[in-house]
Amino acid sequence: MKKLDLTDNRNMSMLMDFYELTMSNAYLLDGVGEKIAYFDMFFRKVPEQGGYAIMAGLEQVIEYIEGLRFDEEDIEYLKGLDIFNDKFLNYLSNFRFTGSIYAVPEGTLIFPNEPIITVKAPVIEAQLLETMILLTVNHQSLIATKTSRICRSADGRSVLEFGARRAQGYDAAIHGARAAYVGGADGTATTIVGEALGIPVSGTMAHSWIQFYEDEYKAFKKYAEYYPDNCTLLVDTYSVLKSGIPNAIRVAKEVLEPMGKRLKGVRLDSGDMAYLSIKARKMLDEAGLIDCKIVASNSLDEYTITSLFNQGAKIDVFGVGERLITSKSAPVFGGVYKLVAVEEDGDIIPRIKISENVEKVSNPGYKKVYRFYDKESNKFLADVITMADEVINVEEDYVIFDPVFTWKKKTLKNFYVKELQEPIFIDGKLVYDIPSLDEIKAHAKEQLANTWDEIKRFENPHTYYVDLSKKLWDVKNELIEKLKENK
């Protein structure tokens, strides 16, 4: 299989915000560049006020870090800016990542404010990773989450990713299709992704095929003759019910059935799809084509699909394009990357960001995230963020509380726990076995199965519990009080 990675043989090391370089230059000159710092990537809100998000993009982050080098052209460019010290430029010339990274595996359901990726490294190394970690995980997590919502609205029917021509650039098309597969899509129309990643590819015809021939029947007939084993016909070029479906039925009877083949499907790409699909289904069934599937495309998302089913639509397969590949209704995944601790003389000293907005006050320190599961149902009960040295005692009941409204408490019983983050790099060495894309997709499916339906609602979903351990809560509030006193 052809290798496809984030860099695609391009030097992407300079794809970073300029301040990462200016700060790193100053860290080095200040003599603190080797001091160990801890950064967390997390997000604050689920897109579209949804109940969950899906982690995606870790494999591409790994590829970027393994290939992170600054070549002669990069160094010459930076030198020409007359901003950076020669000592720093020499440091970049010999750059290798030597730190440790812990991350939530792809396909895992994630929730606001919990660390998705934690970087422990010399502060310069950790700082230089910021932009690429954010843009990679933000983009793919956004598309995987959107796709999951769309697939759930399809209620078991097939969803195909049709969005390349509407994506914001080449990489967005490729990695968006990858993320869509993680999120539950059955396949893609983007051929390069099929070649490189093994995702099933599919496609039928464009309106231009039908327009090219002198009449619709001849266009359908030609296509059926060349692709008798997988013939799906686009029926809305002229009139769905007056010509498209009748001509499709005629081709099924006159061309395919004499060959011992069946018409696989018809595709609707415009018009009132609820009405047209109902009428088309009736016509196909009356012609004995009860196994012929109806495919719908054109500006679909979870809301339109839900509406179609509410109107009784008879659609079997959805080809979803622009509203999936761009997550049009919520095009930003708000992941951030924040310093949470610094090592001083062997001790890990927590750092905190305070804001007038409560939601922007960060959780300090080097941390873990535990997911609590109900022993009987295997459903998620809650996530708890703890300090890194804390261990959950599964033999005792555990009391969770709202980090803001602390009087809101709940006692968890009969549970088991899993740590969400896994080691990815340790002291610069990759220690993580990257799962296959199909394994990641299966993991996402299993995670959704272990989630309560109330969390998966499109409207007013239940807010999943993400709480702080008492120890972490105390550390956070002590820092806040201390900083208030020093104002």
Q: Are residues 97 and 55 in the same domain?
A: yes
Q: Are residues 472 and 339 in the same domain?
A: yes
The count of structural domains within the chain is 2
Q: Are residues 281 and 355 in the same domain?
A: no
Render pLDDT for 423-475 as a digit per residue (tens, 0 to 9).
999 999 999 999 999 999 999 999 999 999 999 999 999 999 999 999 999 99
- Mean per-residue pLDDT, 28-40: 97
- Adjacent-strand bridge partners of 383: 371, 466
Q: Are residues 421 and 353 in the same domain?
A: yes
Q: Are residues 364 and 470 in the same domain?
A: yes
d(CA 220, CA 224): 6
Q: What is the pLDDT of residue 1?
A: 61
Q: What is the pLDDT of residue 2?
A: 61
Render pLDDT for 343-382 as a digit per residue (tens, 0 to 9).
999 899 999 988 777 777 899 999 999 999 999 999 999 9
Q: Are residues 208 and 238 in the same domain?
A: yes
Contact assessment for residue 296 and residue 318, using Cβ atoms and an 8 Å cutoff: yes
> Domain holding 306: CATH number?
3.20.20.70
Residue type, 57: G
The total of other beta-carbon atoms located within 10 Å of residue 188's CB is 28
State the Cα angle at 61 between 438 and 74, rounded to 5°: 145
197 belongs to a structural domain: no
382 belongs to a structural domain: yes
170 belongs to a structural domain: no
Residue with more model confidence, 404 or 377: 377
Q: Are residues 46 and 132 in the same domain?
A: yes
Q: What's the predicted TM-score (pTM) here?
A: 0.95
Q: What is the pLDDT of residue 221?
A: 98
Confidence check: pLDDT of 484 > 90: no
Q: What is the pLDDT of residue 204?
A: 87
Residue with more model confidence, 340 or 12: 340
Query: What is each CA distance from 48 to 52, 146, 182, 197, 203, in whole angstroms?
Result: 10, 9, 19, 29, 30
Of 66, 96, 72, nearest in space to 6 by CA: 66
401 belongs to a structural domain: yes
Query: What is each CA distance from 416 to 111, 113, 266, 381, in whole angstroms?
Result: 19, 22, 48, 10
Confidence check: pLDDT of 487 > 90: no
Contacts of 187 (CB under 8 A, 6+ apart): 158, 160, 161, 181, 199, 200, 201, 202
The last residue of one of the domains, among 315, 347, 374, is 315
Residue with tokens 């969005």: 163
What are the b/e assignments for 430-454, b being 16+ CB within 10 Å?
Answer: eebeebebeebbebbbebbeebbee
Please report, for the chain, how many H helices and E strands are present, in that order. Answer: 16, 21
Q: Above pLDDT 90, what percent of the chain?
A: 91
Render pLDDT for 218-228 as a digit per residue (tens, 0 to 9).
999 999 999 99
Q: In sequence order, what DSSP letters do the residues of 267-279 get, joined into one string?
A: EE-SS-HHHHHHH
Q: What is the pLDDT of residue 358?
A: 73
Of 5, 41, 35, nearest in space to 23 by CA: 35
99 belongs to a structural domain: yes
Domain coverage including residue 75: 18-143+331-485
190 belongs to a structural domain: no
359 belongs to a structural domain: yes
Confidence check: pLDDT of 185 > 80: yes
116 belongs to a structural domain: yes
Confidence check: pLDDT of 7 > 70: no
> Domain holding 33: CATH number?
3.20.140.10
Segment holding 451, helix H or strand E: none
Q: What is the pLDDT of residue 8?
A: 55
Q: Are residues 364 and 462 in the same domain?
A: yes
State the Cα angle at 117 between 112 and 119, rounded to 5°: 135
Q: Are residues 302 and 389 in the same domain?
A: no
Of 470, 454, 482, 446, nearest in space to 108 by CA: 446
- Mean per-residue pLDDT, 167-182: 96
Confidence check: pLDDT of 6 > 50: no
Q: Are residues 33 and 113 in the same domain?
A: yes
Confidence check: pLDDT of 105 > 60: yes
Contacts of 291 (CB under 8 A, 6+ apart): 262
Q: Above pLDDT 70, what percent of the chain?
A: 98
Q: Are residues 300 and 337 in the same domain?
A: no
Confidence check: pLDDT of 329 > 90: yes
Q: Are residues 347 and 414 in the same domain?
A: yes
Structure tokens at 463: 């807010």
What are the b/e assignments for 177-187, b being 16+ CB within 10 Å?
Answer: bbbbbbbbbbb
- Mean per-residue pLDDT, 385-390: 97
